[in-house]
């Protein structure tokens, strides 16, 4: 593994260990601890789960079992372009599930996963509060309303083109 990534992981774990130490050691502390880790680090790594299990003195599989029971927890770091597909009622009845499937197929990952180049992650979410625009998908903070399964490819292509443009501009800037 790349040394920088390894150092980042170690620093994250160190910070998790220190934050977890501030919590109680009762089973009722489990969900608040998991929420705190997800809020600060965006996902629960296997090492984070092990740290929580050690703190509460319960089996790792029990922590993992509880975390997977709730939809709110992620087990992979979000991509640089996190995609959220709304599956609240208004979006679901307008083919939200097919839009999600299309993103999954085009990117070769499933809901909750991140592409190996860390560019994209996909997550299903409940109502994001703009039902009048249903069906809705978010890329980062940008809301894409009136989505359709056929728009998925174009949206991903646009992100790719914008990324290439930004890289070109950055290179040109460096060459000046």
Is 86 within 8 Å of 126 (Cβ atoms)?
yes
Instruction: Determine the Cα–Cα distance for residues 67 and 46; give it in Å rounded to an integer.
Output: 11
- Of 1-9, 57-65, 87-95, 114-122, the segment contacting ligand FES by CB under 6 A is 87-95
Min. distance of Cβ 91 from ligand FES in angstroms?
Answer: 3
Helix-then-strand count for the chain, H and E: 7, 4
What number of other Cβ atoms are within 10 A of residue 148's Cβ?
13
Is 57 within 8 Å of 34 (Cβ atoms)?
no
Residue facing ligand FES at closest CB distance: 88
DSSP E strands, the chain: 81-86, 120-125, 137-139, 142-144
Nearer to ligand FES, 78 or 135 (CB): 135
Print the binding letters for residues 17-56 with ligand FES: x by CB under 6 A, - otherwise: ----------------------------------------
Runs of H (alpha helix) within 29-151: 30-41, 46-56, 60-69, 89-92, 96-107
- Of 53-61, 84-92, 103-111, 112-120, the segment contacting ligand FES by CB under 6 A is 84-92
Print the binding letters for residues 107-146 with ligand FES: x by CB under 6 A, - otherwise: --------------------xxxxx--x-x----------
- Binder among 55, 56, 88, 124 for ligand FES (CB under 6 A): 88
List contacts with ligand FES (CB under 6 A). Answer: 86, 88-91, 127-131, 134, 136
């Amino acid at each position: 593994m790349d040394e920088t990534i390894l150092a980042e992981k170690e620093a994250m774990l160190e910070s998790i260990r220190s934050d977890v130490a501030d919590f109680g050691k009762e089973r009722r502390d489990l969900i608040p601890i998991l929420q705190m880790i997800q809020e600060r680090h965006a996902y629960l790594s296997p090492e984070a789960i092990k740290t929580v299990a050690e703190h509460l003195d319960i089996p790792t599989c029990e922590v993992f079992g509880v975390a997977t029971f709730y939809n709110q927890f992620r087990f992979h770091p979000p991509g640089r372009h996190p995609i959220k597909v709304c599956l609240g009622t208004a979006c679901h009845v307008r083919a939200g599930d097919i839009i999600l499937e299309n993103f999954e197929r085009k990117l070769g990952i499933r809901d909750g996963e991140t592409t190996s180049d860390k560019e994209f992650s996909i997550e299903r979410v409940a109502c994001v509060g703009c039902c009048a625009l249903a069906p809705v998908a978010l890329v980062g903070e940008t809301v894409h309303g009136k989505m359709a399964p056929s728009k998925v490819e174009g949206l991903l292509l646009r992100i790719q083109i914008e990324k290439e443009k930004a890289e070109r501009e950055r290179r040109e800037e460096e060459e000046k």
